[in-house]
Chain A
């Protein structure tokens, strides 16, 4: 089993939280891991430390029996001696070289025939046939990314690092290219680390998701596990929980807590004893909007609410509610029309206690 064993501590020259994270990852199966974090969370720095473009202050990075970095032993291999492929944020294609030359750049020392064959193979695999004599500036964003990816995998690296692979593209192209990228990464069968600030990347590309906040790993696990059950408010925010309420557990009865959020009461599975602080995560799609309160429902959380905002989101409408706390709801456009509500109107917001994820805060 080949293990990537990383323990990285890095201080920025200008101060700040710096990076402090450690993880171990078997990289025999070609898994895709997304490092998800807001911009400025340090995720790109972590990637650069892996690539050897930054030198951490402390710690080590090992791949199998090879040591790439060891602060204690003064080892720091330059990027060209680490066996990895890197896809840069805006691709960093060499502007003075054709597509063909860009792709073959890593092929120095290879026999000419073998290199030419490998280029041909990659041109086909990445759908770049016919573009081999173009210069990078004559390519579309998606084509540039394919060239960059072909170039990065030319030498069949052990590990692929992708820095915000889709952020250089506009939204529509991004969606299209993401789909392509997914296919390519699966076909390449090289384990990949992708750094991204976009949770869609994690949801569509990643087997595993690592959440990064202020240079620390806040949670790591299978993508499903991380998105289903974020363990901290920071993690919840990263995976896109729409409403995070902070409150105090007033009482616990048979495992069900009454949490006071301001003067409102919210029921959820108890994460801790009474008296503790709790964070409650509510997804917008789990919120029901009703015109009247009713006892005929099993739903225990029913709050009187004032509609504050409405925003169109494709077939849905995102509704900002004020229940004494801010609550975001996502309903279909048809339902919204049927209720005939508008900002300023009064309604009821309902959330099943079972859908609320409660976590203890220290």
Chain B
């Protein structure tokens, strides 16, 4: 077993999940409560990784963050390095690519909370953030947990976008999924088998847990 790859995979998934929690919760709340006309556009933008091949997202991300791009230049000046083929690169890619896996369960969980409870809280003097913390989250935590678990699990299993943006650098961007690919290329079926079995077991457990949390909030 390639324990370096396992460690890297867990680190990537954990950080991705953390960032998706911070960014995804407010985004999902906005999606669940807004009356703005352009909400469907944002909905579509969040969900589009579900339909795109990972190579497309990876390609655009490489273009947008390359050393000659605006983002790449700013990043280079700040951190003395480049985004493509780095851990930061695959982290950014994972966050974008996993957005729907976190935001959609969050949003459907929030939407299932009776709107009148939110209105009642507002009429009782609670600000929007406080309403979110005291009413929405306590009533939709299974959905939030499901979203976080799905995002984590999906990041663990991500292959294409990591390969596109991160290359395949041991200890830097070579996650478990990539290690399996390498094992097979090298005809090391025993190694591939071990890692694959681990991923299957992991995926089934995560899904079992999330389904038992709340079936109806899953987008799958």
**Which A residues form the contact surface with B (CB < 8 A)?**
51-53, 78-80, 84-86, 88-90, 92-96, 105-106, 108, 151-152, 154-155
Contact check, B122 vs A80: say whether CB atoms are below 8 A apart.
yes
Could you tell me the distance between the alpha carbons of A78 and B122 in the complex, rounded to whole angstroms? 8
Which residues of the partner chain B approach A95 to less than 8 Å between Cβ atoms? 117, 139
Closest residue on chain B to residue A104 by CB atoms = B124
A80 cross-chain contacts in B, Cβ below 8 A: 122-127
On whether the beta carbons of A106 and B119 are closer than 8 Å, the reply is no
CB distance from B130 to the nearest CB of A (A): 7
B125: chain A residues within 8 A (beta carbon): 80, 106, 108, 155
Is there an interface contact between B124 and A106, defined as CB atoms closer than 8 Å?
yes
Decide if B127 touches A79 in the complex (CB within 8 Å).
Answer: no
Quick one: closest B residue to A163, CB to CB?
B116
> Which residues of B (85-135) have their CB < 8 Å from a CB of A?
114, 116-117, 119-128, 130, 134-135
Query: Is B126 a contact partner of A105 (Cβ separation < 8 A)?
Result: yes
Can you show 5 pairs from A to B with CB atoms below 8 A apart?
Answer: A51-B123, A80-B125, A80-B127, A93-B120, A94-B121
- From the candidates A84, A94, A108, name the one contacting B135 in the complex (CB within 8 A): A94
Instruction: Give the distance in Å from the alpha carbon of A88 to the alpha carbon of B122 in the complex.
Output: 12
In the complex, the answer to whether B120 meets A96 with C-beta atoms within 8 Å is no
What residues on A are CB-neighbors of B116 within 8 Å?
A: 88-90, 92
If the complex has contacts A92-B117, A95-B139, are A79 and B123 also in contact, measured as CB distance less than 8 A?
Answer: yes
Complex contacts, A151 vs chain B, CB 8 Å:
124
Q: Does B138 contact A (CB under 8 A)?
A: yes
Of chain B, the residue at the smallest CB distance from A105 is B124
B119 contact set on A, CB distance < 8 A? 51, 53, 79, 86, 88, 92
Nearest chain-A residue to B35 (Cβ)? A13
Q: List, in ascending order, chain B residues with CB within 8 A of A89's CB.
A: 116
Q: Check A53/B117 contact, CB under 8 A, given A96-B139, A108-B130.
A: no
On chain A, the residues within 8 Å of B127 by CB distance are 78, 80
Sample of 14 more A-B contacts, CB < 8 Å, known A90-B116, A95-B139, A105-B134: A53-B122, A78-B122, A78-B127, A80-B126, A80-B127, A85-B123, A92-B114, A94-B121, A94-B135, A96-B139, A106-B126, A108-B125, A152-B123, A152-B124
Please name the residue on chain B nearest to A55 by beta carbon: B35
A residues within 8 A CB of B124?
A: 80, 85, 105-106, 151-152, 154-155
B149 to chain A, nearest CB (A): 22
A152: chain B residues at CB < 8 Å are 123-124
Q: How far is the CA of A92 from the CA of B122 in the complex (A)?
A: 12
A108 and B126 within 8 A (CB): yes
Residue of B at shortest CB range from A101?
B134
User: Which residues of A sit under 8 angstroms from B135, Cβ to Cβ?
Assistant: 94
With most chain A CB atoms within 10 A of its CB, the pick from B117, B120, B121, B126 is B120
CB distance from A192 to the nearest CB of B (A): 14
With most chain B CB atoms within 10 A of its CB, the pick from A85, A93, A105 is A105
B126 cross-chain contacts in A, Cβ below 8 A? 80, 105-106, 108
Nearest chain A residue, comparing its CB with the CB of B135: A94
Bound form: Cα–Cα A123–B121 in Å: 20
Residues of A within 8 A of B120 (CB): 86, 88, 92-94
Structural contact, A53 and B123, CB atoms closer than 8 A: yes
**Bound-complex Cα distance A88 to B135 (A):** 16
- Tell me the smallest distance from the CB of A358 to a CB of chain B, in Å: 44
CB distance from A190 to the nearest CB of B (A): 14
Minimum distance in angstroms from B22 CB to a CB of chain A: 24
- How near does chain A come to B132, taking the closest CB pair, in angstroms? 13
Complex interface residues of chain B between 51 and 93 (CB less than 8 A to chain A): none
Q: How far is the CA of A151 from the CA of B121 in the complex (A)?
A: 10
Q: A80-B127, A108-B130 are in contact. Are A94 and B122 (CB under 8 A)?
A: no
* Pair A84/B138 contact, Cβ less than 8 Å: no
Residues of B within 8 A of A93 (CB): 120
| Cα-based distance from A96 to B140 in the complex (angstroms) | 11
Instruction: Name the A residues within 8 Å of B114 (CB-CB).
Output: 92
Bound CA span A25–B138, Å: 40
Contact B123 A94 (CB under 8 A): no
**Docked complex Cα distance between A51 and B123 (Å):** 7
With both chains docked as a complex, state the minimum distance between the C-beta of A55 and any C-beta of chain B, in angstroms.
10
In the complex, A128→B162 CA distance in Å?
Answer: 60
Expressed in whole angstroms, the Cα–Cα distance for A88 and B117 within the complex equals 9
Question: Within the complex, what minimum Cβ distance (angstroms) separates B133 from chain A?
Answer: 11
Contact partners of A79 in chain B: CB under 8 A: 119, 122-123
**Min CB distance, B128 to chain A, in Å?**
8
Measured in the bound complex, the distance between the Cα atoms of B125 and A152 in whole Å is 10
Question: Which of chain B's residues has its CB closest to A81's CB?
Answer: B125
- Tell me the bound Cα distance from A347 to B124 in angstroms: 60
